Amino acid sequence: MDRTAGQIGAGPRLHPTTEPFDRRMIDMGDGHSIYVEQSGNPDGQPVIVLHGGPGGGASPHLRRFFDPARYRVVLFDQRGCGRSRPLAAVARNTTAHLIADIEAIRATLGIGPALLFGGSWGATLALAHAEAHPEAVTGLILRGVFLGRRRELDWFYAGGAAQFFPDLWAHFTAPIPEAERDDLIAAYHRRLFSGDMAVETRHALTWMAWENSLAGLHSSHCGGGPPDYARVFSRLECHYFHNNCFLSEGQLLQDRKAIEHLPAVIVQGRFDMVCPPISAHQLAEGWDRCDLRMVPASGHALSEAAIAAELLRVMDNWP
């Protein structure tokens, strides 16, 4: 969950915009080439930034959460999205592939253990990678925690959030015949992978509009974004959700013991309607080195002022 963040409200004064000192494509040897960039200080503390979605792509805006004199910031577009190729491809595109890509990026760039910074689906991937390779991680900074569980998907796609947004839910469900509404992820999956570009794009815009509309506490009914972007985002996100994020149920909580020695900070909007705070609370409970920061009067989006300010505070004061 969580596409590249738009400007929902006026945010804090972030670090100045910086240009990457390195841009490259890394051929993963299986038909996928991954766009990777580095900015900040080449000798600084490495931090790998994991964007949301799946399928959101890495925004240049993300560089501004890090002091360029202190951090070596690595951004990349996950398989099938952004500047990575091929676009919208779901073959050989699973959570395990993304974890392997992070390791390939570290090896190619000569990076040792690094901080992981990710929100929403980026938080999911950060946890999955850290639990698979705890030796490769020095700490985690997570926002809007999504653990990839069925209950979280049901909240968003089986009527939970609809109780607060019945009008927007009606718009989301309208393209799907009533006989198929018992499994909206599967229904949208059939249309997003129909092979008919017009059908795929039309349903992609509606899929994306539902998420956009709930992303910010003060969001109104938003559109689905540029059609080409919406198709890429929606296909990849639906592909992952249709396959339960390629995680076993409850895996990230069950395997938390592998990373409990690591420091972590969770920045969570108190009124996050995309990824409700219960998941962040359950992840942090009993993890002594995890600092859960509930941000009042805030929703899900990175671009919300209080969320952005808290993340900036975390990174400026990281040990």
User: Tens digits of per-residue pLDDT, 184-230?
Assistant: 999 999 999 999 999 999 999 999 999 999 998 876 556 668 999 99
Taking only the tens place, the pLDDT of each residue in 146-174 is 999 999 999 999 999 999 999 999 999 99
Summarize the chain as % helix, strand, coil (round to 5).
40, 15, 40
- Lowest average pLDDT, out of 4-13, 105-114, 204-213, goes to 4-13
pLDDT-based confidence at residue 5 (cuts at 50, 70, 90): very low
H helix or E strand, kind and range, residue 36: strand 33-40
Tell which CATH architecture fits domain 22-147+246-316. Answer: 3-Layer(aba) Sandwich (3.40)
CA–CA separation, 105 and 274 (whole Å): 30
Active-site residue identified among 84, 120, 234, 279: 120
| Omega before residue 175 within 30° of 0, cis | no
* Mean predicted lDDT score pLDDT of the chain: 95
Average pLDDT over residues 16-31: 97
- What are the residue ranges of helices labelled H in 174-295? 184-192, 197-215, 227-242, 251-254, 278-284
Active-site residue identified among 51, 129, 203, 300: 300
| Whether 120 is catalytic | yes
Residue 248: how many CB atoms within 10 A of its CB?
A: 12
**Starting from the edge strand earliest in sequence, which strands make up the sheet with 71-76, in order?**
22-27, 33-40, 71-76, 45-50, 114-119, 137-143, 264-269, 290-295
Per domain, the residue ranges of the chain are 22-147+246-316, 150-244
Q: What is the 3-state secondary structure (H, E, C) of 164-207?
A: CCHHHHHHHHCCCCHHHCCCHHHHHHHHHCCCCHHHHHHHHHHH
9 has pLDDT over 70: no
| Whether 272 is catalytic | yes
CA–CA separation, 208 and 2 (whole Å): 10
Active-site residue identified among 15, 272, 279, 303: 272
CA–CA separation, 312 and 13 (whole Å): 9
Q: What is the pLDDT of residue 10?
A: 56
pLDDT-based confidence at residue 319 (cuts at 50, 70, 90): confident
Q: How many residues does the chain have?
A: 319
Q: What is the pLDDT of residue 290?
A: 98
Q: What is the pLDDT of residue 220?
A: 55
311 has pLDDT over 80: yes
Average pLDDT over residues 218-247: 89
| Whether 279 is catalytic | no
